[in-house]
Amino acid sequence: MAENIVPPATNDQSPRFRTALRSLLPYLLAVLVAFVVVGVVLAILGFDVFKAYRTILFTSFRTPNGLVQTLNKWTPLVLIAYSFTIPLAAGKFNIGGEGQLIIGAVGAAGVGILFAGLPLPILLPLVLLGGVVFGTLWVALPAWLLYRFNINEILTTVLMNFVAFEVIDYVATRVWPDPSAGHPTTVAIGAGGYLPNLIASPPLHAGIIITILVAALVYLYTDHTSAGYELIVTGANPRASSVYGINTKTMFLLSLLLGGAVAGLAGAIEVAGNHHRLIAGLQSNFLLLGIIIGLIAKGNNLAVPFVAFFIAVLEVGASAMQRTMNIPGEMVFIVEALILLFILLSDVMRRRR
């Protein structure tokens, strides 16, 4: 009788683990080198480097308030990053996420004010939908100009940002102004348009759940559907995609519209979750950080939420560092820029090798 020979057990996970580790190594080295460079600068300026880095990295986890601040900042960062990475998958650059967020906030605030008497089950979805619709409409003009006349989307989306600044200022000072505010601000939206709090104190609104759902939908769409595959293939090689029957102009148009919709949703969540009214300047520095997140993630939609969380931790830590140690908060921008720079350099070195 032939003996049953049992092959030795093999660990199928180890090659996969090594591959993942190799892909993460450039990121880890980029973060380490960026912190070392900025640490040298801080030491030259006479600051306590280790205290500064403890403040930056651990403020978000020391207290419930720090963690809630981080999660509330994480929400718009993820959405604005997606407004950049979704068009990037098709090879297009949406630099107008800031304007789309602002106009989404205008739309959400307008719905919340005009229909303030409606109950939450009706008003809240309308407020969020208003943000999505207005954000989509705001990018529709650059998308149409690209589709019809092949006008570069970088130029048109940037220019639309400046128009959005004037729109929010006009709405907040002329249409529904709050006379008691010392800053361009509208009156509050109806209470039915407020996002419920998951935690009462410190307040953590339900926008984080919406963001997680959007992140899952974006990942499933771009990585696990035929439509998402067409989007990515278009970005990889538009000419070959056109030869094989993909309407690349439609893909360009769709990618920008989806980016605008996600950015508009971010504006609606800022109104419904954080401010409960329209405030000039609510866009903060989300556009710059969203682009940095998208580039660090290299357009990988699965990586975007994790990179965004890391950036949110740095941002909250930077505010604490500025308050407690009088170190300019711009130092964190230098860290983020250096991380991006070193990651890009690692790609260049890998290609040459």
pLDDT, position 17: 62
Per DSSP, the three-state class of 198 is strand
Per DSSP, the three-state class of 78 is helix
Give the residue among 12, 68, 81, 2 at the shortest CA–CA distance from 340.
81
Instruction: State the Rg of the chain over Cα.
Output: 23
Query: What are φ and ψ of residue 218, in 5° steps?
Result: -65, -45
Strands 197-199 and 204-205: antiparallel
Q: Report CA dihedral (223, 228, 232, 233) to the nearest 10 degrees.
A: 120
Residues in the chain: 353
| 8-state DSSP, 193 | G
pLDDT, position 4: 53
Cβ(185)–Cβ(278) below 8 Å: yes
Nearest-angstrom CA–CA distance, 278 and 188: 8
Per DSSP, the three-state class of 327 is coil
Domain ranges in the chain? 76-309
pTM for this entry: 0.91
Per DSSP, the three-state class of 204 is strand
Nearest-angstrom CA–CA distance, 35 and 48: 14
Nearest-angstrom CA–CA distance, 5 and 17: 28
Q: How many CB atoms lie within 10 A of CB 109?
A: 35
pLDDT tens string for the chain (353 positions)? 444 555 555 455 566 666 656 667 778 888 888 889 989 999 998 889 999 999 999 999 999 999 999 999 999 999 999 999 999 999 999 999 999 999 999 999 999 999 999 999 999 999 999 999 999 999 999 999 999 999 999 999 999 999 999 999 999 999 999 998 888 999 999 999 999 999 988 899 999 999 999 999 999 999 899 989 999 999 999 999 988 889 999 999 999 999 999 999 999 999 999 999 999 999 988 999 999 999 988 889 999 999 999 999 999 998 898 888 888 878 888 888 888 888 888 777 777 76
Residue with structure tokens 């935690």? 199
CA distance readout (Å), 114 to 169, 174, 191, 255, 321: 18, 15, 12, 31, 41
Each residue of 78-102: b (16+ CB within 10 Å) or e?
A: bbbbbbbbbbbbbbbbbbbbbbbbb
